[in-house]
Structure 1
Amino acid sequence: MNKQPENIEIYHARTHNLKDVSLHIPLHRQVAITGVSGSGKSSLAMGVLYSEGSRRYLEGLSAFARRKIHQAERADVERIDFLPPALALRQRPPVPGRRSTVGTMTELYNLVRLIYSRLGTHRCPRGHQVPPSMKAIFDETCVCPVCGAHFNLPSAESFSFNSAEGACPDCGGLGERAEVDPTLVVPDPELTLEQGAVASWRAAGRGYTVRLAALLGVRLDVPWKKLTDHERDIVLNGPETRRPLIFHNRKTGEEYPITFTYDNAVEAVRKSLAGDRNQTRYARMRKFLSVRPCETCGGLRLRREALQTTVAGKSIAEVTGMSLSRLDQLAAALPEALPVSVREVAGKLSAGLRDGLKPLLDLGVGYLTLDRQGNTLSTGERQRLELSMMAGGRSTGVLYILDEPSVGLHPANVDGLKQLMRKMVANGNSLIVVDHNLDIIRNGDYMIEMGPGAGDRGGTVVARGTPHEIAGEGRTLTGRYLSGSRKVIVRQPQPVSAKDEWLRIAVRSRHNLHHLTAGFPLRRMTAVTGVSGAGKTALVFDCLVPALKKALGRKNPPDFIESLKGFEHIRRVVRVDATPIGRNARSTPATYTGLFDGIRRLFAGTDAARKRHWSSSMFSFNVKGGRCEACEGRGEMLLDMQYLPEQRVRCPHCNGTRYRPETLEVKYKGKSIADVLRMSVDEALRFFTDQPDLADQLETLHDVGLGYLLLGEATPGLSGGEAQRIKLAGELKRRHTDTLYVLDEPSTGLHVHDIEVLLGVLDKLMQLGATIILIDHDPDVIANCDYVLDLGPGGGSKGGRIIAEGTPAQVAASPASLTGKYLPGHGRL
């Protein structure tokens, strides 16, 4: 009998910066891949293992699909043996559409709909309540025990807002309606109609309508705010009217009439949106729309009949509006709340619901509700929902690749993540985890450390073995942090006193914050902490930042702000978050930082370019001229896979260079423009050492630890931490006195060593007079701050309060602080 393979065997992998890597990775184990940013972790995990694992899975499909797959670019690896089919949890899951909710994304709503169709108390056509019975469960029709009326029992589809059977007929199951807002079509009441006061007429390409309005009695030379009510009514609500306008032909001198239809300012928007779905026109007109809850269903998305059915006295809208924690309690009590005859079925359905809820509760998102719209979730929340689906899939023999699953997790919730990953391995799967969290690395069966540096200084395996073995050896960077022989101690915390200048805010009511007062010491680094849903983002980004911007613009604060003090010491507010830079491959570090402008000017100044009379635009891949027109300067093309996701492949015409061959003939110091884009920041720094302006910009990128980035790589693919550091790099050369920097989870995607680099950058800003407020879960970051505000104690309705504040040491000593329990052993604590 053949022995089952025990390892994935990789031979000579050279994808991205991997340097001919050959290694074995244990199957049916939890394996951590770690290393500093840019060391080759993702190249090995995603570029080799996932790329090949998913490709081999797709090869089992039709001959047509296989032909398409063979056109796609393969991982640069000589051979991989014993590789299972692969699924990946990416660091940035896609943002779902308007119809997606937590319930649909986790598929828990399917079970809730089934519970309501089988165990619900329905209403007959005459309004009598019909309680559940074993006969509601098995039959499609029912007889009302009160009046004898026959009626069809609702199915699970009757409770779906994504089906015609269950959706509200007026909003189509969206729960909201977009209507033209008259206040938006005339944004500036100081303008006259001649000056373009009616923005919707201009946006719809109906400039002639102004002349028609004059024929209807509206004055064109009077500001909108001074027009009579009758004139304004004609503009906003006037009836459709046909009127001739006289046009003058400048060449012939002839005059001739053309009859036009007058559409008021509101109707012009409606007609433009009702025409062909031109995306550009739609984007231009949607700014005149206000989204309001649907009046028919009250924003609940469902038909009235569906909302009348109850289970244990609650409608489906009430249940989906509960927090997941509260829903779990309801599910536990459900069988006892129903008639004896259906308790067995109720027990099975409620147990299934609780099984689906458990991983979500373990991951700390129990504050979410099933009716929460998917596009309002944070990146970390979306990732945890995907992870819970993977863990609950009960699959076996799959290679799961998790890219930074600890993103956005409070240390208290890491235990739940570890349990989930162990469950996935126990089901017979193999788990590759790309993460920097030392607790997660220690929890693995095996670890692979890439390095020793980033970019061209990385790409090799510097250590492999159990976490205990590597920590014991203490030879590698990660090993020293695992053993505790090296700690993140970057800055000397600055003292904080009540006598210092403070920024103070009082919030009336915003999300889960109610009558909350918070203070932030100026020219200090403050960490805002707490579990997911505790109110961190609500306080910093939904209250403090908007209030400051209003105050700096000398405007009244938002209604939900009671008071704001100390803002006179702030001159400028800079928000630095982990959102991707740019939308597609056209955005690169070179273009985002402005480096590419100077580089293109250098190429345009060469003798070869001057002889051809080429300007710097000929060296841009974003405009016609020198770029490859087959791929329009992207360097890649989309491969249509029909019912499968599109595949990106290197452009066969320019071989990924983005440019025409003629453009690449022009050289600067022996390098083409494509050669320069393939350089790392550090390589470019050496190459442009004789160009002070370029060298200065490149040096700032090097100083924030991004020397390994390629000038031409797509910025949307950068990690959240890399995106933040690129944004910070541009700030290092500015004046920082009275500047407030607000950072959202700056430790995202960073190795412990990279956190040291980040804290060094932030300390530089502090020394230049800046104030820093950051939201983070990483104990190393928190321990290096001057002040901490810890919110909680839980998430959602259980949060929204400051439960501890003070220096990191004071918070660590607070028995009320959950965050404080994880601070000892970090920084100087």
Structure 2
Amino acid sequence: MPQDFIYVKGAREHNLKNVEITIPRDKLVVITGVSGSGKSSLAFDTIYAEGQRRYVESLSAYARQFLGRMDKPDVDYIEGLSPAISIDQKGVSHNPRSTVGTVTEIYDYLRLLFARVGMPHCPKCGRPVERQTITQIVDAIMNLDEGSRITLMAPKIRRKKGEHKDVFENARQSGFVRVRVNGEILMLEDLGGLELDRKKWHYIELVVDRLIVRPDTELSRVAESVETALREGEGVVEAHVEGGETLVFSEQFACTKCNTSLPEIEPRTFSFNSPHGACSDCTGLGFKLALDPNLIISNKDLSLSQGAIAPWTRGGPSSGWYISLMESVAKANGFS
């Protein structure tokens, strides 16, 4: 069972004087002290050096020949170590795109790992998001309990206001016989007098097929119905189990509950250096430039002409231009 601390006993590397210390794991730990007190000797030359040495020794003989021999630090005993990463404070770039991941060169491997084995989830409801093929959808339907009565439907309207008369007319022209309107299955030929409240939310699905799960059910028929439902439902098909739940399948990378489409995950999705994966607000830098009103108007007791807006009163050839611009705006808008 992993320990929750690192125990160092008898550390004598460089200027350390037989130090014994317990450091919590999985925490942000800061080692402080005056210059020459042994901070770097403990962190880099003892703990990191021993963690790296043990990691190298766990590799094969073939791999070790390329890494060279690492000496054991002057310490009696260290317990609870894991493979360690060390970043010298003097060598870190001030470029905001330089991170622990890029400096240690594990960033590309992490992007590849997330892209290949990651399971995306809907940012709104948290449900897993995945695409399904027609074969997978048919298998899922046929794996339901024998005797289950299934209604295959293609969703056309999802929580939208309006009368949606065009949906019914297009369904008739396409040869459909039934629709489900707000949870109730109706015959299209009986909808002549149906008037939906255009101010309320509505749900409309086309009934593509009705079937019973049996060993002798023709898979070709089910596959054809699923394909039709996917085409009419823009990549989404609903399988309503009589007396049970409604299963929703999608051949698109989208959340069928929230109707939220997501881009298919790939390595560049997790790169802040790529427009495809970078945050749209900060463009991958981790910070945004913004105006602070308290810095712009440092003294609220001053008028504009007295220098209330600090950047306009710092002198230079542009100050007069700001003043003339301010006077023109005041004259055009009728204030002094």
Q: TM-score, normalised by structure 1?
A: 0.15
Larger helix proportion of the pair: 1
Q: Which has the larger radius of gyration?
A: 2
Q: TM-score, normalised by structure 2?
A: 0.32
